[in-house]
Amino acid sequence: MDEAQVTTPPPISAEVPAKPLMQGEIAGRDLLEVVKMLNRLKKTGVLTARGAENRTEIYVKQGNVVAAFYNDLSGAAALTRGLLIGKAEFVLEAHDGRFPNNVLQETAFILESVDKILAEYGERLWA
């Protein structure tokens, strides 16, 4: 199967869980800022955020988002919705295995688009 057609995240097969590269709590636009930082610093890993009712996984390879999952969504729509998750706990873990590939748009374009959504709607998104 072509990697562009992968719709589910690959299983994490490490016997001993690796220590997270970064973790914490986020609210509002915080997850967007974390992804922007990973993009600027050219980081690689899997960013997972869990809110009260939602979960998102964002796969970042050398700073570029290559795949995203949000509940039952995948691809660019999942990335956009995931960046707007609101209040959640997040963890960034190293990922050395195969990366899914379902976000075909440039990371900078998607991040700018989400910035525009936030400029227009702001905190009303989480009210």
Largest CA-CA distance found in the chain, in angstroms, rounded: 45
Q: Is the pLDDT of residue 14 over 70?
A: no
Lowest mean pLDDT among 8-12, 23-27, 30-34, 108-112: 8-12
Q: What is the pTM of this model?
A: 0.83
> What does the alpha-carbon distance between residue 82 and residue 29 come to, in Å, rounded to a whole number?
11
121 conformational bin, left if phi > 0, alpha if psi -120 to 50, beta if neither: alpha
Chain mean position to CA 2: 21
Tell me the residue type at 11. P
Q: Is the pLDDT of residue 65 over 80?
A: yes
Residue 45, classed as helix, strand or coil, is strand
